[in-house]
Amino acid sequence: MRIFVTGHTGFKGSWLTLLLDELGHEVSGFSLNPELDSHYDLSSIGSLVAQDFRADIRDKKALINALDKTKPDFIFHLAAQPFVKEGYRKPEYTYEVNVNGTLNVLHAAETTPNVKGVLVITTDKVYANWDENKEPFSESAPLGYGDPYSTSKAMADLLSQSWQKNSSRLSIGIARAGNVIGGGDFGADRLIPDMVRNTKSSTETLIRYPKAVRPWQHVLDCLYGYVLQMNYILDGHRDIFNFGPDFGQYFQVEKVANEFLKQLGQGSWKLDTEPHLREAHFLTLDSRKAARELSWVNRYNFEKSLQVTANWYLDYLEGNDLKISSRSQIKEYLSK
């Protein structure tokens, strides 16, 4: 099957491209150039891409042209401005990319006859989490506003729901995932990438909120859920699914940091005492709907997720062939 991935040069997008290729699909991508030290480049993901388009998701003409050339059956929309702190620094840009970019994808898909379905990737941060009542969010929980990034993704989610209700031709789904971890993430202001960078430079990592709780999950568990939802969408279903860790697999930032550095065998962290912009202290997802309707399960628990992640970064720190590392991790995951 021909599949089109927006944001294919990013962390999740590059792993999704690798997973789809291993499953036998033809993948084309539309994205900005990868960041320095990206998983996309380090693992030679570009060699797997049938057609590779480098453009801004806000450029609707370029997007329509790419879809016309590739004629995909399905679209995964991951292209986004994905950072909370960047949203504070560049709110207008964040809204343009995350909201208008999603609108461009839905419009372009609607006008491309070959496209049968679209999966729009939003985030766990779309939920109204003002009182932080420490209950996992289900898909029926109300969406809310917050920082510019979270608000922009909630707007993109609502936009997709509206299009989903009014499109007579396209099957559209929405996926909301939590804090994914895995080898090859070098994003700024993210826990594990920061620890890897600081370990490499022999400096301590500063952690803002060590007691904060997030829905930590290995990237391949999340992405395999997306693949199952793709099949569900192509069967004509239009729905929303959470993809997060199992019940009870909710851990504080400091536990993640301690366990990861233990697996890595090096590095350290300390509390960042500087004032910071507000972030939610407790955020978890209820993913039972995906288990029930998609037969989706997490194949990796918390410990295994950190072990597999640390193994990839050890290969990176030791200068090993990361193309081999990434492909062997995909094969191991699919063999389970």
Q: What are the pLDDT tens digits along the chain (336 aa)?
A: 999 999 999 999 999 999 999 999 999 999 999 998 899 999 999 999 999 999 999 999 999 999 999 999 999 999 999 999 999 999 999 999 999 999 999 999 999 999 999 999 999 999 998 877 778 999 999 999 999 999 999 999 999 999 999 988 899 999 999 889 999 999 988 999 999 999 999 999 999 889 988 889 999 999 999 999 999 999 999 999 999 999 878 899 999 999 999 999 999 999 888 776 666 677 889 999 999 999 999 999 999 999 999 999 999 999 999 999 999 999 999 998
As for how many domains the chain has, the answer is 1
**Are the CB atoms for 20 and 49 separated by under 8 Å?**
no
Question: Which of 30, 177, 164 has the alpha carbon at shortest distance from 106?
Answer: 164
Give every CB contact of residue 255 below 8 A, 6+ residues apart in sequence.
none
Give residue 167's pLDDT.
81
pTM: 0.95
Q: How far apart are the C-alpha atoms of 259 and 281, rounded to whole Å?
A: 20
What Rg value do the Cα atoms of the chain yield, rounded? 19
Selection from 313, 307, 38 nearest residue 196 by Cα: 313
| Beta carbons within 8 Å of 187's beta carbon, 6+ residues apart | 11, 35, 82, 83, 193
The amino acid present at 39, given as its one-letter code, is: H
Give the pLDDT confidence score for residue 130 in this predicted structure: 80
Distance CA 98, CA 105 (A): 11
CA atoms of 174 and 257, how far apart (whole Å): 30
CATH number at residue 176: 3.40.50.720
- Name the maximum alpha-carbon separation found in the chain: 56
Domain range for 194 is: 2-335
Q: Please, are residues 220 and 177 in contact by the beta-carbon 8 Å criterion?
A: no
Rounded Cα distance, 11 and 182, in Å: 9
Terminal CA-to-CA distance of the chain, rounded, Å? 24
